[in-house]
Amino acid sequence: MLGRVKDALQGKAPLSAKRSSQWRRVRAEHLKSNPTCALCEGKTKLRVHHIKPFHLYPELELEPSNLLTLCECLSYGINCHLLVGHLGNYRNINCDSVADSATWNSKIKDESPDVYVSIESEML
């Protein structure tokens, strides 16, 4: 319950949003298949992000194609879940989060010296 209150205060999901009884299983399966952050390939503080928010699209809560692994581990100085999943504010919806993650992942892999500084400024 405390986690739901914290999420609501951050704007992640309203308190009225109820998770499916199958959510824990689907989340675990998703993380087993997608064990790294889609943006930075981090392996800690992973979150299963709903591309279309489950409180607005409850029929997509358990749909694998609506899920994306993002982290909150601050790799490269950014919170991938907050930045790419929510464009810097948990109340925002980024329907392009899959493409944005792939774009920035490829930039990080190129290891351009300026990419770490530009990620946050270009996304916001």
Between residues 10 and 53, the one the model is more confident about: 53
User: CA 18, CA 104: separation in Å to the nearest integer?
Assistant: 32
Q: What is the pTM of this model?
A: 0.78
Where exactly are the structural domains of the chain?
19-123
- Give the pLDDT confidence score for residue 101 in this predicted structure: 96
Say if residues 79 and 42 touch (Cβ distance below 8 Å).
no
Q: Is the pLDDT of residue 36 over 80?
A: yes
Q: What is the pLDDT of residues 47-91, one digit of tens each?
A: 999 999 988 999 999 999 999 999 999 877 889 999 999 999 999
Tell me what pLDDT residue 75 has: 79
> Over 70: is that where the pLDDT of 121 sits?
no
pLDDT at residue 108, as a whole number: 85
As beta bridge partners, residue 1 has none
Closest C-alpha to 101, from 47, 33, 23, 26: 47
pLDDT mean across residues, the chain = 84
Specify the pLDDT at position 15.
Answer: 57
Burial of residue 69 (number of CB atoms within 10 Å: 0-12, 13-18, 19+): buried
Residue 71 to residue 90: CA distance in whole angstroms: 14
Element (DSSP H or E) covering residue 120? helix 115-123
Residue from 41, 46, 55 nearest 101 by CA: 41
Residue identified by tokens 């409850």 is 58
